[in-house]
Amino acid sequence: MSSEIATSIPREERRQGVARRPWRTLAVQLIGPLTIVAGLMWAVAQPYRIVFLDRDGRGLYDYLFQPPLLVVAVGLVFTFVVAPGLVEDLEGEEHRDSPS
Amino acid sequence: MIPRAEDAHWLAAAVALFLGLVLIAELIVGREVFRRRAWRAYLFPAAVVVASVGLWVIVVFSTFSTMHLLAHAVWAQAALVAGAVELALVRGKLTSPRWSLVPGVALFVSGFAFLVHEPNPWLYSRSAFLHHAIGWMLVIVALFPLGEALRPRQLVWRTGFALTFVLLAVFLFADRDAAPIFGRFGLGGP
């Protein structure tokens, strides 16, 4: 067989550092950032809800409870407290299930 | 100094949103992985019990209206019972999926209390509108724990239950003590 016609089958080399990320892991990692983005979009849409931008006559509770910032705070807590452990456990589970 | 009602509602909204996100995450990763760490397993039941304590605090301090006081007392008691059952389920003291009926009853009773303690019609103000909307929502979503009790393997019940908290957060974040229903677009309100 002529080598000009029959070419070699390209090897499926696994690129380093570009391992396939399962959708579950990605979904868990996206929950927090999407919540943060939602809070920021709300802050842009209704800036008068942010007391730091309009301080006249505001009390302690106005500073503590600013709805768009509360949404951002929830997203941050989820991103840095809940998601990392979940991703770690999920990857551990998938690593255990995958054939060695 | 006691915070305004809308401040308390926004704080409750943040807690509801966080719980909703946690329940959605549990749906995504599966219950087995989610409960691998004890603090995660106990997070939702403990939050419900703590919320019930917060509602009892409101009962103590918010005495300007008998119906308001009774409604918050009903929510506090319902949340306490539901949280206790959830804790026992996570702990393994209770095993039957039929126990999901208890959170279902708690949601139904809470919704009923919302509807009963709002004296004004839907379009009176944003607060009245949201009380009616949240009340009917809670009455309807009580079907999700009911479904979980009767057909525990179907994902739709747990999905609905998780999204309930996100929707509740949206409603509570929208609450204002005195405002037209649709803000500058008007309809109702002072």
pLDDT level of residue B187 (50, 70, 90 thresholds): low
Please count the structural domains in chain A.
1
Asked whether the beta carbons of residue B36 and residue A89 sit closer than 8 angstroms, the reply is yes
Residue of B nearest to A46 (CA): B183
Of A27, A61, A74, the CB nearest to B17: A74
- Is the pLDDT higher at B82 or at A95? B82
- Domain membership of residue B90 (yes or no) is yes
- Domain containing B103 equals 5-185
pLDDT, one tens digit per residue, over B12-35 is 999 999 999 999 999 999 999 999
Question: pLDDT averaged over chain B?
Answer: 90
Asked whether the beta carbons of residue A86 and residue B10 sit closer than 8 angstroms, the reply is no
- Domain membership of residue A14 (yes or no) is no
Residue of A nearest to B7 (CA): A65
- Domain membership of residue A10 (yes or no) is no
Asked whether the beta carbons of residue B21 and residue A32 sit closer than 8 angstroms, the reply is yes
pLDDT level of residue B66 (50, 70, 90 thresholds): confident
A83 part of contact set with chain B, CB < 8 Å: yes
Question: pLDDT averaged over chain A?
Answer: 82
pTM value? 0.87
- Domain membership of residue A48 (yes or no) is yes
- The proportion of chain A whose per-residue pLDDT surpasses 70, expressed as a percent, equals 77
- Domain membership of residue A37 (yes or no) is yes
- Domain membership of residue A1 (yes or no) is no
As a whole number, mean pLDDT of residues B88-112 equals: 93
As a whole number, mean pLDDT of residues B72-92 equals: 94
pLDDT, one tens digit per residue, over A29-67 is 999 999 999 999 999 999 888 888 777 777 878 888 889
Determine the residue type at B105: V
Q: What is the pLDDT of residue B189?
A: 55
- Domain membership of residue B62 (yes or no) is yes
- Domain containing A62 equals 23-95
pLDDT level of residue B63 (50, 70, 90 thresholds): confident
Residue of B nearest to A89 (CA): B33
- The proportion of chain B whose per-residue pLDDT surpasses 90, expressed as a percent, equals 65
Asked whether the beta carbons of residue B29 and residue A28 sit closer than 8 angstroms, the reply is yes
Please count the structural domains in chain B.
1
| Residues 11-30 in A contacting B (C-alpha not used; CB under 8 Å) | 24, 27-28
Determine the residue type at B173: F
- Domain membership of residue B190 (yes or no) is no
> What ipTM was estimated for this complex?
0.89
Q: What is the pLDDT of residue A16?
A: 44
CATH number of the CATH domain containing B127:
1.25.40
Asked whether the beta carbons of residue B21 and residue A35 sit closer than 8 angstroms, the reply is yes
A65 part of contact set with chain B, CB < 8 Å: yes
Asked whether the beta carbons of residue A67 and residue B11 sit closer than 8 angstroms, the reply is no
- Domain membership of residue A3 (yes or no) is no
- Domain membership of residue A53 (yes or no) is yes
A89 part of contact set with chain B, CB < 8 Å: yes
